[in-house]
Amino acid sequence: MVTWVYIDSCAWNRLHTLGVDLAAELPADRYQVAITQEVAIETELFRKSKPESDVLPYIDNALEAAQVKTSSWFGFAMHEPDGTVSPYQPYGGFDVGTWVSENESAWLSQATVLAMLSKSQNKKGPLGANQADASQGARAFDAVILTDERRVRKNGKGPLQLAAEQGGHVVFLNEVEASGLGLDAFISGGRTFSTRAP
């Protein structure tokens, strides 16, 4: 059984600081490491805004060494206000995106999640406020989400905290650090996960 583990964009800095080797900590025979298309967009925006950051080589090495896949839901091309196709596409088209499952759709349709998504446009770029976290929160019931959200979120509860409270498999890096365990031991410690590829 392979467990899917999604890396949240806010986890990269902490993983780098801790010197975590994702390929060693999450071996390919037991884990499929992935990022959502929204996290890929956030990472690209970070790369453009801080090209000198020492975390970028770490991210690039981790993406390659751990054979990280990018996962997107099916959808059509997004456009800019002037009608041109946006360079940032959170959805995958035919033969790329996967269908949103009934459970994912139901989770995203909760009033609490919709309220988190209805906030103003994200100041960092083309994604809506909490869009990346909500896409991961919906996947947290069939996969593991690895995040540093509790350390970095300054404005209260977001979609990942909500998913965790509702039984989603959200792994907060501060809890992993406090446990003294590695990622594999922490994630696999008595937990069972779906084998559905989100």
Distance CA 165, CA 162 (A): 5
Contact 87, 40 (CB under 8 A): no
What pTM did the predictor assign? 0.85
Specify the pLDDT at position 108. Answer: 83
- Please report, for the chain, the start and end positions of each structural domain, with discontinuous segments joined by +: 3-72+101-188
Cβ contacts of residue 33 below 8 Å, gap of 6+?
5, 7, 22, 26, 66, 67, 68, 69
Q: What is the pLDDT along the chain (198 residues), one digit of tens a residue?
A: 789 999 999 999 999 999 999 999 999 999 999 999 899 989 998 999 899 999 999 999 999 988 888 887 777 777 677 777 777 777 776 777 677 788 888 888 888 888 887 765 555 567 777 888 999 999 999 999 999 987 666 666 889 999 999 999 999 999 899 888 899 999 987 555 544 454
Alpha helices in 4-148 (DSSP H): 11-18, 22-25, 37-49, 55-65, 102-108, 111-117, 131-139
pLDDT of 77: 74
The CATH number of the structural domain formed by 3-72+101-188 is: 3.40.50.1010
- The residues pairing with 170 across neighbouring beta strands, listed in sequence order, are 145
